[in-house]
A and B are shown apart, each in its own frame.
Chain A
Amino acid sequence: MTRLPAWADYGLIPVLNLGLAFAVAALVIAALGEDPAAALEVLVAGAFVYEGALGYTLFYTASFIFTGLAVAVAFQARLFNIGAEGQAMLGGLGAAGLCLAFDAVLPALLMIPLAIAGAAAAGAAWGAVPGWLQARRGSHIVITTIMFNFLASGLVVGLLSGPLMRPGQSNAETRALAESARIAQWHEIAPLLGLEAGRSPLNLSILLAVAACIGVWWLIWRTRWGYALRCLGLAAPAAEYAGIPVARITVQAMAVSGALAGLMAVNTVLGAQGKLLINFTAGFGFTGIAVALMGRGHPFGVALAALLFGALYQGGAEFDFEFATITREMVLLVQGLIVLFTGALSQMLVPLVARALGRA
């Protein structure tokens, strides 16, 4: 095993892998007959410069922080949580379900914390069950979480086209939630502070996302539980021998992971859309895998990676307007390449870099 200094391992290698992903994407763009440099320019302008663009970018960033942290926490225990998508869906059901039941009677000060707790609890439950099945019944977490994604999707479709459907409507969505269940958006708050802000779905959930980053960091690196979690990830037999309750930690890790994924619904359902829509998760649970890999499983890395993906999503949307042949799906391609190079092929460049640094 080649060893690299920490700065190369955590700084250089991810940047090089990211560069490879972008280089391949640029080749694809060039092969399609467009100019990669122009595409990058559009991407950056679309993500940061245009009015309201930054708001959208940060809105997506908040969602990706939640799903990225979800995957990262589970991965600290070497658990592949492919199910963030389904857990986020359940989070939406939990939040929206409580809001539909109580938003007429509860004031915002009670309703919003309750809805946030509901999102976290529902997501946690949807994560804990596969965790329990792995810990106690020996089922493989990857297969179970994939299946749970489909079960969640069936549940959401079934409920939204039945009991939760807006009365008198044929669209599969809930009624609009009351004002008391909505999280304030930045463009509503900014004028109160004397600032200008373009319209965007950016809302106060991003503060929750930042708090989640700090919370996860503290949980994993500053608590006994986090120590047990990392032990389990590094060497499960050693953890078992040291008396760490492996099964319990597994279930708890998946519950925390699911809760974080569920919180994504706070940003999208309570913060942006104000109702539960079908497909509101939009594949962000899967993007969370890329975010966690890119961020090397560390909360601060996850936050940076989430910002990168937020910018890609928002900037990539501009492709539709600026180019004839490339569209926002280009971002999906970049995302796939990032998962490939920073995840599956993360070790490819290590020997090369080691040789360049004279350490082979």
Chain B
Amino acid sequence: MGWLDLLLTADSALRLATPLMLCAMAGMISERAGVIDIGLEGKMLAGAFTAAAAAALTGSAWAGLGAAMAVGAAMAALHGFACITHRGEQIISGVAINILASGLTVVVGIALFDQGGQSPPLGPEARFRPIVLPGVETLSGVPVLGPLWRELVSGHTLPTYLALAVVVGAWWMLGHTRFGLRLRAVGETPAAVDSAGLSVPGLRYRAVLIAGLLCGVAGAFLSTAHGAGFVREMSAGKGYIALAALVFGKWRPWPVLFACLLFGFLEAGAARLEGEVLPVIGRVPTQVILVLPYLATVLLLAGFFGRAVPPRALGTPYSKER
């Protein structure tokens, strides 16, 4: 693999990592506040459908993005209603959201467009187009930096840049703001937050809603930036890979970002190596590469390398009275 090949793989890795980054950050914010979110997949799928549907009906990618975020937040509110207000099992609620999203997207899709659950293909104005960053022309003559800037940094769609900004924002918010401190506290010892006079449900609702908004963006990326319309089950397990990245990154922003990029790179590499014959290994078994993220997560979680410690109050509903 030459230098340019590597660059192109990295470029496609960044694209494939975009929904992972958004969902993993969503999961991180929710879980650092103590609410397990295995409904990332469902919220992203619902977001993808809504974005495509709204973009198809209005002709605007921005309307799609807004609608996707609204639906992501609505599903998150349902999750919150079940497991914050009614102290239901967070895992079951997440499973319910995933199944609901699977069913609803197809049912509503058929009712709206009558195309077997797909949305109509979106034209260029109803999608987020690649953004060419300034400087591509000027740098084109420079040996290493030119191709790097042109192929890897420039030419992504808005949600990809947004995802990178979200990572920085999440890091800042969690580690350097009062709100972030409170979110982390509510995920470790909610009783302390409660006795400080803050509302545990209020903080957890906010965390869960932020997660919903981010999953909506991830969905919009899938159907209006990466793809050109909604296809059934188009989230294809990415929400679960994001969950794996979240655990792999030990619930911390930079390691989670690294995990997302790594998993994106594995996926890009698997697609690139499909059917190729390498000198030592022979024909590359793409299945093996594709399951590496899951395997790595299992091994990490089991403490075979490193140690991933979840927030202490994760998964425990908070009851005021004793």
Q: How far is the CB of B53 from chain A (nearest CB, A)?
A: 14
Q: Determine whether the beta carbon of A347 is less than 8 Å from that of B86.
A: yes
Docked pose: A82 CA to B95 CA in angstroms: 9
Complex contact B83–A143 (CB within 8 A): no
Minimum Cβ distance to chain A for residue B202 (Å): 20
Stretch of B7-15, B60-68, B292-300 on the interface side:
B292-300
Given known A-B contacts A144-B298, A286-B99, A337-B100, A150 and B88 have beta carbons under 8 A apart: no
Is the C-beta of B152 less than 8 angstroms from some C-beta in chain A?
no
B103 x A344 contact (CB < 8 A): no
With contacts A143-B243, A343-B88 taken as known, whether A286 is within 8 angstroms of B95 at the C-beta atoms is yes
Within 8 A of A (CB), among B62-83: 78, 81-83
A170 at the interface (CB under 8 A from B): no
Shortest C-beta distance, B247 to chain A (Å), equals 6
Can you give 28 A-B contacts (C-beta < 8 A)?
A32-B108, A32-B111, A133-B301, A138-B303, A147-B298, A150-B240, A154-B294, A290-B99, A293-B92, A327-B107, A329-B110, A331-B103, A333-B103, A333-B104, A334-B103, A335-B103, A336-B97, A336-B101, A336-B103, A339-B99, A340-B78, A340-B93, A340-B97, A340-B100, A344-B89, A344-B92, A346-B88, A347-B86
Say whether B103 contacts A339, CB under 8 Å.
no
Query: Within 8 Å CB of B4, what residues of A?
Result: none
B302, A335: Cβ atoms closer than 8 Å: no
- Could you say which residues of chain B place their CB within 8 Å of the CB of A150? 237, 240, 291, 294
The closest CB in chain B to the CB of A158 belongs to: B287
Residues of B within 8 A of A157 (CB): 287
Chain B binding surface SS class: helix
The 10 A-B pairs with the shortest beta carbon distances in the complex, nearest first, are A332-B103, A333-B103, A336-B100, A336-B99, A344-B93, A154-B291, A344-B88, A158-B287, A343-B92, A340-B96
Interface residues of B, count at CB 8 A: 50
Q: Distance in Å from the Cβ of B292 to the closest Cβ of chain A?
A: 9
Flag whether B118 is at the interface (Cβ < 8 A).
no
In the complex, chain A residues 54-94 whose Cβ is within 8 Å of any chain B Cβ: 80, 82
Q: How large is the interface on A (under 10, 10 to 19, 20 to 34, 35 or more residues)?
A: 35 or more
Contact indicator B301/A144 (Cβ below 8 Å): yes
- Tell yes or no: B153 within 8 A of A by CB: no
- A22–B135 Cα gap in the complex (Å)? 58
Residues of A within 8 A of B291 (CB): 150-151, 154-155
Bound complex: CA of A161 vs CA of B89, how far in Å?
39
In the complex, what distance in Å separates the CA atom of A80 from the CA atom of B89?
Answer: 10
How far in angstroms is the closest Cβ of chain A from B95? 6
A151 and B82 contact, Cβ closer than 8 Å, known pairs A286-B95, A333-B107: no
A330 and B107 form a contact (CB under 8 A):
yes
Q: Are B288 and A158 in contact (CB under 8 A)?
A: yes
Q: Is B169's CB within 8 Å of the partner chain A?
A: no
Smallest CB gap from A32: residue in B: B111
Separation in Å of the B294 CB from the closest CB of chain A?
4
A290 CB contacts on chain B under 8 angstroms? 99
Residue B275 interfacial (CB < 8 Å): no
A80, A158, A326, A333, most chain B CB atoms within 10 A: A333
B103 & A329 in contact (Cβ 8 Å cutoff): yes
